[in-house]
Structure 1
Amino acid sequence: MTTSDSGVGGKVTPIDFDKNHLLEKSILPIINTQRPITALGFVWIWIGIAVMIATFQLGANGITGVPLLHVVLVIFFANVVLALLMLLTADIGTEHGLSFSVYLRAPFGVYGTHFPSVFRGIIAAVWFGIQTYLGALALNGIFEYLTGFSNWTIWYAVFAIVQVANTAMGIKAVERLAAIAAPAILAISIWMYFTLDVLAQTQGINIWRFVGEQDVTVLTLFLANVAFWSTLAIDIPNITRFVKAPSGEKRFFHRNKNVLLAQLLALPATQAWIALIGAVSFIAAGEWNPVTVIQGQGEGLSLIILLVLVILAQWSTNNAANLIPAALAFVNAGAPKISYPVAVLISAVVGTLFMPWAILDNLFSFLFSYGAFLSAIGGIMIADYYFIRGRRLNVPDLYLTSGQFYYFKGFNPAGIIAWLVAGTVAFYSEQWAFVLGFLLGALIYFVIMRLFVMKRFPQKECDEPIPDKYLGTSVGYDWVYSRENQNFKRVHFSELDNNITRDYQ
Structure 2
Amino acid sequence: MKTQVEKQGIVTLTDEVAAELSTSSLWNEDLRPTTFAEHSWKGINFATLWIGMCLCIPAYTMASGMITLGMNWWQAIGTIFIGNVIVLIPILLNSHAGTKFGIPYPVFARLWFGDKGAHIPAMARAIVAAGWFGINTWIGTGAIDTLLAASFSGWANLPGHTAIIFALFWLLNVGVAYKGPQAIKVLGAISAPVVGVSAIILLIWAFTRSGGWGPILETPSKFETTGAFLKVFFPALTGVIAFWATLALNIPDFCRYARNQKSQMVAQTLSLPLTMSIFSFIGIAVSSATIVIFGEALWDPVQLIAKFPPFVIFLGTVVIVLSSLTINVGANVVAPARAIENLNPRRITFAMGALITGLFAILLQPWYIMSNFGNYIFGWLGTYGALLGPIDGIAIADYWLVRKRQMSLKELYDPNGRYSYSSGYNKNGIYALIIGVLIPALGLVVAPLHFLWENAWTVGLFISIIAYTYLMREDKSVLKAGEYEQITSVDTAVPPSNDQSSQPGISQ
TM-score for the superposition, normalised by structure 2: 0.83
* Unaligned stretches of 5+ residues in structure 1: 246-255, 478-490
| Cα 1:365/1:200, change in 2 over 3 Å | farther
Q: Aligned residue pairs: how many?
A: 463
Q: Is the 8 A contact 2:216 2:284 kept in 1?
A: no
What does residue range 135-174 of structure 1 map to in structure 2 within 5 Å? 135-144=140-149, 145-146=151-152, 148-150=154-156, 151-174=161-184
- Structure 1 CA distance, aligned partners of 2:83 and 2:21? 45
Q: Which one-letter code corresponds to 2:244 in the other structure?
A: W
Q: CA deviation at 1:240?
A: 0.6
Taking a change above 3 Å as real, the CA distance of residues 471 and 272 of structure 1, as seen in their structure-2 partners, is farther
**In structure 2, what residue type is equivalent to 1:465?**
G
Match of 1:289 in 2: 300
Task: Name the CA distance, whole Å, in 2 between partners of 1:179 and 1:7.
Answer: 33
- The residue number in structure 2 matching 1:352 is 362
Task: Say if 1:368 and 1:430, in contact at 8 Å, map to a contact too.
Answer: no
Aligned counterpart in structure 1 of residue 245 of structure 2, from 222, 225, 230? 230
Q: Which residue number in structure 2 is paired with residue 249 of structure 1? A: none
State the AA in 2 paired with 1:291: V
**CA deviation map 1:449-502 (0-9, x unaligned):** 125xx1xxx22x521415545679xx559xxxxxxxxxxxxx9989xx99xx99
1:463 aligns with 2:480: yes
For the Cα contact (< 8 Å) 2:121–2:391, is it kept in 1?
Answer: yes
In structure 2, C-alpha distance between the alignment counterparts of 1:123 and 1:383, rounded to whole Å: 23
Amino acid at match of 1:219: F
CA separation in 2, counterparts of 1:232 and 1:203? 34
Q: C-alpha offsets along residues 118-154 of structure 1, whole Å, 9 cap, x if unaligned? A: 1101111111112211221232234322362242222
Q: Distance in 2 between matches of 1:293 and 1:350?
A: 32
1:33 partnered with 2:30: no
Q: 1:341 matched to which residue of 2?
A: 351
Specify the alignment match of 1:394 in structure 2: 408
Alignment of 1:91 with 2:96, yes or no, is yes
Do the aligned partners of residues 444 and 31 (structure 1) sit closer, same or farther apart at CA in structure 2, a change above 3 Å counting?
same
- 1:233 counterpart letter in structure 2: A
Alpha-carbon separation, structure 2, partners of 1:226 and 1:187: 26
The letter of the residue matching 2:154 is: G
By how many angstroms is 1:400 displaced?
Answer: 1.7
* Letter in structure 2 aligned against 1:300: P
Distance 1:43 1:12 in 2: 34
Alpha-carbon distance between aligned partners in 2 of 1:440 and 1:76, rounded to the nearest angstrom: 24
| Whole-angstrom distance in 2 between the partners of 1:275 and 1:366 | 25
Q: Secondary structure at the match of 2:431?
A: helix
Change (3 A) 1:133 1:197: farther
In the superposition, relative to structure 1, how do residues 26 and 12 fare at CA in structure 2: closer, same or farther (>3 Å)?
Answer: closer
- Please say if residues 24 and 331 of structure 1, whose CA atoms lie closer than 8 Å, have aligned partners that are also in contact: no
The answer to whether the 8 Å contact 2:4/2:488 transfers is no
Offset at residue 95 of structure 1 (A): 0.4
Partner of 1:69: 74
Distance, in Å, in 2 between the alignment partners of 1:42 and 1:469 is 34
Structure 2 counterparts to residues 107-256 of structure 1, below 5 A: 107-144=112-149, 145-146=151-152, 148-150=154-156, 151-196=161-206, 205-209=215-219, 211=221, 217-245=232-260, 256=261
User: Could you tell me how far 1:345 is from its partner in structure 2?
Assistant: 0.6
Report the CA distance between 1:234 and its aligned residue: 1.4
Offset from partner CA, 1:315-373 (integer Å, 9 cap, x none) = 11122211111211111123221111110011111222223342554435544411111
* Equivalent position amino acid for 2:247 in 1: L
Task: Report SS of the residue matched to 1:462.
Answer: coil
Matched, 1:377 2:391: yes
Relative to structure 2, which stretch is displaced further, 279-288 or 343-352?
Answer: 279-288
The 2-side partners of 1:52 and 1:211 are apart by 26
Q: In the alignment, which residue of structure 2 is the partner of 1:6?
A: 3
Percent of aligned positions with the same letter in both sequences?
26
For 1:46, give the aligned amino acid.
W
Amino acid at match of 1:135: G
TM-score (norm 1): 0.83
The runs of 5 or more residues in structure 2 that have no matched partner are: 6-12, 445-451
Bigger mean CA offset, 165-174 vs 212-221: 212-221
Q: Is 2:110 the partner of 1:105?
A: yes
Aligned to 2:449: none
Question: Tell me, what secondary structure is at the counterpart of 2:399?
Answer: helix
